[in-house]
Amino acid sequence: MAYQVISLETLRAERRRQTVEEQVPYIAPGGRLEHVTKRIVHGEMEVYDLERPVGEMITTASGLTQLVQKVVLDLELGREQVPLLYTPIYRRRENRNFPQHIEIRPFVGARVVFLEHLEGEEVKFGDMKVGPAATVPIVTYAAGFEWTEDVVEYSQDWSVAELSRAMGEAYNALLNHLHLGPIVSYNYPAKNKTAASTEGNTYLEKLRNTIIQGLKDASQDKDADTGSPRRPTVLLAHSSRQWDIEQALQRQQIGGTIYPQISQINTLIFYDGYSVTVGEKTYAYPGVDPGKAYLIDPSRYFVELVKHDLIVDAGQADVKRLIQGAIVGRARRGVVCSPEKAVQELALP
């Protein structure tokens, strides 16, 4: 197998083999930006329990700091359950000084040509070309939860941990949606669409021929800025199609003829979306339609802009509603995505 399979299951399995230490930011009481150490040892994440009940912890600055640290680590535990799927497609640009609206002039490429040099002639110098300007907003995304006086009175500290983990899951689900949603929801023009192949006697033959035709169609669509054809190396699909797609990509013998593995694809990503009900409302992020797949030429036209990643701090009590405290997290991010320049949509047989 010459490709990498990226799904929630494979990323979790890979994480279980790792030993990781990261510094996770949070805002301590008083407004200082601090960090707590996140450790994963052979796939097991270290968390800690509070020394005293929540009601006692929030009465002092040091206790509140410890509470926020625990919330941050529990939140990270939730993030581990919803790994980020989009990273092979996007380049990451992080800058704390990003303005609210960023003018993007995508760098297309350096252009250089070697020509025969005749005596007395000037050497032909290369140049740089950029794409048309576009404005990308940096958006603030926020979520939080409160704990009531009942949590303190009845020592329901476990509910704070559960809410923290749910918050972590929700944040990573949002990131997957922000970066993969534009690809699966885009209304592609005809040149970016490949119909399901009817050639072949079996379903796998038709699926294989559909993928090959999509690669051919992409290669014949030259970028107006660079003049280069699209060369997809990532295939994005629904997880229900994983086994069929993996088989279709493999070396096969059909009718006495041996066909080589489809080697151009080096990464398979399987994304089914996400859904959660909060209060009376259900929030759903659509995944890939099981009847479609996407061949993606990554990086050039996909950029995640990060002013700052998720930062957590503790909010104030509200005695009028018997609220003892709150935890609030927020991140400021933007996405540059141009599917028409980099994606071929496949209708699967």
**Given this model, what pLDDT does residue 129 score?**
46
**Given this model, what pLDDT does residue 304 score?**
93
User: Do 230 and 333 reside in the same domain of the chain?
Assistant: yes
pLDDT in tens, the chain (349 residues): 578 999 988 988 888 888 888 888 888 777 788 888 888 887 777 776 666 666 556 666 677 778 788 888 888 888 988 999 999 999 999 999 998 888 776 544 555 557 565 665 665 555 444 455 578 889 899 888 776 666 665 555 667 778 888 888 999 999 999 999 999 999 999 999 999 999 988 999 999 999 999 999 999 998 776 778 899 999 999 999 999 999 999 987 777 677 788 889 999 999 999 988 877 788 889 999 999 999 999 978 899 999 999 988 876 666 556 566 677 888 999 998 889 999 999 999 9
User: Do 246 and 122 reside in the same domain of the chain?
Assistant: no
User: Do 201 and 343 reside in the same domain of the chain?
Assistant: yes
User: Do 116 and 59 reside in the same domain of the chain?
Assistant: no
**Given this model, what pLDDT does residue 264 score?**
92
Q: Domain tally for the chain?
A: 2
Tokens of 314: 């503790």
Range of the domain at 124: 101-130
- Comparing CA positions, the residue from 177, 141, 212, 180 lying closest to residue 283 is 177
User: Do 106 and 233 reside in the same domain of the chain?
Assistant: no
User: Do 180 and 65 reside in the same domain of the chain?
Assistant: yes
User: Do 121 and 142 reside in the same domain of the chain?
Assistant: no
User: Do 201 and 109 reside in the same domain of the chain?
Assistant: no
| Span between the terminal Cα atoms of the chain, in Å | 23
Residue 133 buriedness (CB in 10 A; 0-12 / 13-18 / 19+)? exposed
User: Do 302 and 336 reside in the same domain of the chain?
Assistant: yes
- Comparing CA positions, the residue from 173, 179, 220, 133 lying closest to residue 335 is 179
**Given this model, what pLDDT does residue 150 score?**
62
* β pairing state of 323-337 and 4-6: unpaired
Between CA 123 and CA 248 the distance in angstroms is: 50
User: Do 336 and 196 reside in the same domain of the chain?
Assistant: yes
Secondary structure (H, E, C), the chain: CCCEEECHHHHHHHHCCCCEEEEEEEECCCCCEEEEEEEEECCEECCCCCCCCHHHHCCCHHHHHHHHHHHHHHHHHHHHHCCCCCCCCCEEEECCCCCCEEEECCEEEEECCCCCCCCCCCCCCCEEEECCCEEEECEEEEEEEEEEHHHHHCCCHHHHHHHHHHHHHHHHHHHHHHHHHHHHHCCCCHHHEECCCCCCCCHHHHHHHHHHHHHHHHHCCECCCCCCECCCCEEEECHHHHHHHHHHHCCEEECCEEECCCCCCCEEEECCEEEEEECCEEEEEECCCCCEEEEECCCCCEEEEEEEEEEEEEECCEHHHCEEEEEEEEEEEEEEECHHHHEEEEECC
Residue 277 buriedness (CB in 10 A; 0-12 / 13-18 / 19+)? exposed
Residues whose CB is less than 8 angstroms from the CB of residue 81 and which lie 6 or more positions away in sequence, other chains included: 12, 165, 168, 169
User: Do 118 and 83 reside in the same domain of the chain?
Assistant: no
User: Do 123 and 217 reside in the same domain of the chain?
Assistant: no
